[in-house]
Amino acid sequence: MSRCRITVFGAGAWGTALAQAFANTHEVVLWGRDRTQLDELARLRENRRYLPGVRLHDTLAVEADFRTAAEQADLHLVVTPLSGLRDTVRELRRIRPDTPLLWACKGFEAGTGRLPHEIIAEELGLDAPSGVLTGPSFAAEVGRGLPAAITLAARDPAFARHWVAVLHQPRLRIYANTDLVGCEVGGAVKNVMAIAAGVSDGMGFGLNARAALITRGLAEIARLARALGGRSETLMGLAGMGDLILTCTGDLSRNRRVGLALAEGKSLADILRELGHVAEGVSTAREVVQLAHRHGVEMPVCEAVDALLHHGLNARTAVERLLARDPREE
């Protein structure tokens, strides 16, 4: 495996976990916006705010200066929340526009409904050497070195194969794909489904109801992916079914925790404040519903979650409305 210099932009839980994983075999620099947090991280060798309990690799470097972090890299890996992707890429364009780029952001851009790869195309051009890392992966487990498998999707098959070969780890297995749309839709909409599953579980509706929501949720995700140009078979893999199952059932899922708290009757504002992390499903729900309406795609689970989050529907009514839908062919 060839050794390379990777800069990870974003010192949250997932950025720190990926930096930790790749530092096993590569020279890795971690950049973040909060200089105070970075100073603490460098001093303690632990990201106590976002990834507590994980002792960082001795060779993992921390850099607060954006230009310095960008200029020394063979690969840029953007792991900011989706809301920070466009601005980060614009800065990279000014400094090192030709450096290969990967991103690990999930969701649809607020206001535009753009998927991450569409943002990249607008900022860097369609031919930019770039791709997405996505799939079923909790940061806490990856940071601790537990096994996981994810997808690297890119328009250019050669680019995907090359970086899979470079980045593949014994405990972080990476698989190549060329369906950017399918992979990104799966990674985005599963967060909305996880909120629904959390609400259902929090209401005590049981495992059967959760299985029904996950299954019908996967069908919704596949319908939207096809409408946007993705492939159905992608949603049967890591970036679709794998990510959906993990996020809807795992207790480490932030979006699932949002749903559980909504079922307790907590307000969304209080939930997000207590969470302390970004739960992408909250903003994604609104964008998904708008996209579904524009493309004529039926997405009742997402519509119920959006109504619950943004339009005053209560949690019990939201789940009961879904479970009471008229019978039809599957």
Interval 98-115 mean pLDDT: 95
User: For residues 21 and 87, what is the distance between their CA atoms, to the nearest angstrom?
Assistant: 25
Of 84, 74, 75, 80, the residue nearest 31 (C-alpha): 80
Residue 110 token pair: 């607020």
Is 190 part of the annotated catalytic residue set? yes
CA separation for the pair 14, 296 (Å, rounded)? 34
Structure tokens, 182: 């399918």
Q: Where are the domains of the chain?
A: 5-178, 187-323
Q: Are 235 and 241 in contact (CB under 8 A)?
A: yes
How many other CB atoms are found less than 10 A from the CB of residue 200? 28
Name the least confident of 139-143, 265-269, 276-280: 276-280
pLDDT in tens, 127-139: 999 999 999 999 9
The structure's pTM equals: 0.94
Cα separation, 35 vs 64, in Å, equals 6
State how beta strands 148-153 and 130-134 pair.
antiparallel
pLDDT tens column, 148-179? 999 999 999 999 999 999 999 999 999 999 99
Q: Domain 5-178: which CATH class?
A: alpha beta
Reported as a single tens digit per residue, the pLDDT across 276-329 is 777 889 999 999 999 999 999 999 999 999 999 999 888 888 877 776 665 565
What ranges in 79-179 are assigned the alpha helix state H? Answer: 85-95, 116-124, 139-143, 157-167
State the Cα torsion 169-61-279-124 to the nearest 10°: -80
The neighbouring-strand residues paired with 77 are 8, 102
pLDDT value at 330 more than 60? no
Share of the chain above pLDDT 90, in %: 90
Alpha helices in the chain (DSSP H): 13-22, 35-44, 66-71, 85-95, 116-124, 139-143, 157-167, 180-202, 207-227, 243-249, 254-263, 268-275, 280-295, 300-310, 315-323
Residues 310, 272: Cα–Cα separation, whole Å: 14
Active-site entry in 76, 190, 256, 286 = 190
The domain made up of 187-323 has a fold known as: N-(1-d-carboxylethyl)-l-norvaline Dehydrogenase; domain 2 (1.10.1040)
Distances (CA, A) of 240 to 159, 211, 272, 291: 22, 15, 25, 18
Q: What is the spatial distance between Cα 158 and Cα 176, in angstroms, rounded to a whole number?
A: 10
User: How many Å separate Cα 310 from the centre of its chain?
Assistant: 21
